[in-house]
């Protein structure tokens, strides 16, 4: 497939590919993602999601920073499976699947970092129109030191002053990413809290949490960018969605643009989170009766 060499942003374009009347989950990883090389194929995902009648969106990792310059200790890793040399093969694989399945969208999860911003924009200029949507995420505050890896953040979590400083830097990057207006969806906007529980945070950080997330929500509304309700937090110590479920009704009442993403890497984790996917889809549809009736916290 030939890149376009021209980017043309159309807010909310991803709705054009969604299957009518089906729930959606727009954050699924196949075995193309480097952290999921032994995971399910796209074909396996599509067979499963068809049974649940859930329209899925594939968002495999595209890590521009690692393609440009590996840090020395990673120099022997070679190219990742999904990279600048294989992106056309990736697109062709999913293009072939469209003859058999219609209940999927093709996205890409692109990690944002200001030090490689120009190269990210160059890639998006070439390939933006080849995807149904592009999801932006912040995994690194310092390049090559992922905050989604426990050993990188655990020492800072123990020191709440240092952790607060890291949080401030993280949300500054999130806001920069949204302000760029280059991404259709912002993934797991508060994933920096993955390895903590809310109750263990200092009162200052707890009080700031709501402000951080409302600032992001309003910025998403201003820039016509979707904020993702990411369900991966239930698999970690956070034990909640990103952002927390307690904020979602407030966002919905303010008409903040949102989509659901389970961030599933395995078929079993997807199946287990289907009730949450159903509940939150109905929240976005304003089906409050369904949300209340099927709230898992009320089921004994």
pLDDT at residue 300 is higher than 50:
no
- Give pLDDT, residue 299: 44
Rounded to the nearest angstrom, the gap between the alpha carbon of residue 50 and the centroid of all alpha carbons in its chain is 22
Mean pLDDT of 206-227: 96
Contact between residue 178 and residue 134 where contact means Cβ atoms under 8 Å apart: no
Asked, for residue 64, whether it belongs to a domain, the answer is: yes
Look up the CATH number of the domain holding residue 269: 3.20.20.140
Domain that holds residue 278: 13-298
Q: Distance between CA 184 and CA 111 in Å, rounded?
A: 13
DSSP annotation string for 232-296: GGGGSTT-S-BS-HHHHHHHHHTT--EEEE--B-SHHHHHHHHHHHHHHHHHHTT-HHHHHHT-G
- The CA angle 214-106-56, to the nearest 5 degrees, is 70
The number of beta carbons lying within 10 Å of the beta carbon of residue 152 is 16
Q: Is 218 exposed, middle or buried (0-12, 13-18, 19+ CB in 10 A)?
A: middle
pLDDT in tens, 119-150: 999 999 999 999 999 999 999 998 778 889 89
Asked, for residue 239, whether it belongs to a domain, the answer is: yes
- Give pLDDT, residue 9: 65
Mean pLDDT of 47-60: 98
The number of beta carbons lying within 10 Å of the beta carbon of residue 235 is 17
pLDDT in tens, 152-195: 898 888 888 899 999 999 999 999 999 999 999 999 999 999 99
Asked, for residue 6, whether it belongs to a domain, the answer is: no
Q: Distance between CA 208 and CA 81 in Å, rounded?
A: 39
DSSP H stretches of helix in 133-242 = 150-157, 160-179, 203-223
Asked, for residue 96, whether it belongs to a domain, the answer is: yes
Mean pLDDT of 10-35: 92
Do strands 185-186 and 226-230 pair parallel, antiparallel, or not at all (unpaired)?
Answer: parallel
Is pTM, for the whole model, over 0.85? yes
Q: In what order do the strands lie in the sheet with 23-28?
A: 23-28, 54-58, 104-106
Asked, for residue 285, whether it belongs to a domain, the answer is: yes
How many percent of the chain have pLDDT more than 90? 74
Asked, for residue 74, whether it belongs to a domain, the answer is: yes
- Give pLDDT, residue 288: 55
Mean pLDDT of 283-290: 74
pLDDT at residue 49 is higher than 90:
yes
Residue 117 DSSP class: H
Contact between residue 214 and residue 205 where contact means Cβ atoms under 8 Å apart: no
Look over the chain and give the mean of its residue pLDDT values, rounded to a whole number: 89
Q: What is the Cα gyration radius of the chain?
A: 19
- Give pLDDT, residue 104: 98
- Give pLDDT, residue 8: 56
How many percent of the chain have pLDDT more than 70? 87
pLDDT bin (cut points 50, 70, 90) of residue 259 is very high
Contact between residue 129 and residue 6 where contact means Cβ atoms under 8 Å apart: yes
Strand partners, 186: 136, 227
Contact between residue 162 and residue 237 where contact means Cβ atoms under 8 Å apart: no
- Give pLDDT, residue 1: 44
- Give pLDDT, residue 156: 86
pLDDT bin (cut points 50, 70, 90) of residue 197 is very high
pLDDT at residue 218 is higher than 60:
yes
pLDDT in tens, 80-99: 889 888 999 999 999 999 99
pLDDT at residue 272 is higher than 70:
yes
Asked, for residue 166, whether it belongs to a domain, the answer is: yes
- Give pLDDT, residue 78: 56
Joined together, the tokens standing for residue 266 give: 């395995």
- Give pLDDT, residue 66: 63
- Give pLDDT, residue 137: 97
Helix, coil or strand: residue 195: coil
- Give pLDDT, residue 220: 96
Q: Distance between CA 37 and CA 50 in Å, rounded?
A: 23
Total domain count, the chain: 1
Q: How many angstroms separate the Cα of 1 from the Cα of each of 41, 91, 133, 134?
A: 21, 7, 17, 17
Asked, for residue 214, whether it belongs to a domain, the answer is: yes
- Give pLDDT, residue 187: 98
């Amino acid at each position: 497939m030939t890149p376009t060499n021209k980017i043309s942003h159309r807010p909310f374009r991803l709705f054009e590919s969604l299957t009518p009347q089906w729930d959606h989950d727009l954050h699924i990883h196949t075995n193309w993602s480097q952290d999921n090389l032994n995971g399910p194929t796209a074909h396996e995902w599509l067979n499963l999601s068809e049974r649940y009648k859930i329209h899925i969106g594939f968002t495999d990792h595209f890590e521009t920073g690692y393609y440009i310059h590996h840090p020395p200790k990673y120099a022997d890793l070679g190219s990742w499976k999904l990279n600048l040399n294989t992106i056309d093969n990736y697109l062709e694989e999913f293009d072939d699947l469209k003859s058999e399945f219609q209940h999927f969208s093709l996205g890409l999860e692109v990690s944002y970092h200001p030090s490689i911003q120009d190269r990210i924009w160059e890639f998006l200029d070439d390939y933006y129109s080849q995807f149904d949507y592009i999801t932006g995420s912040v995994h690194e505050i310092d390049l090559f030191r992922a905050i989604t890896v426990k050993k990188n953040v655990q020492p800072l979590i123990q020191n709440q002053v240092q952790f607060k400083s890291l949080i401030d830097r993280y949300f500054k990057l999130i806001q920069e990413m949204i302000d760029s207006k280059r991404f259709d969806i912002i993934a797991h906007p508060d994933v920096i809290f993955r390895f903590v529980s809310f109750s263990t945070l200092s009162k200052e950080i707890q009080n700031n949490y709501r402000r951080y997330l409302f600032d992001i929500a309003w910025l998403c509304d201003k820039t016509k960018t979707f904020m993702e309700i990411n369900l991966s937090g239930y698999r970690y110590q956070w034990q909640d969605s990103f952002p927390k479920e307690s904020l979602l009704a407030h966002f919905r009442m303010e008409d903040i643009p949102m989509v659901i993403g389970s961030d599933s890497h395995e078929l079993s984790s997807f199946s287990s989170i289907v009730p949450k996917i159903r509940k939150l889809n109905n929240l976005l549809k304003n089906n409050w009766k369904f949300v209340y009736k099927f709230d898992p916290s009320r089921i004994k």
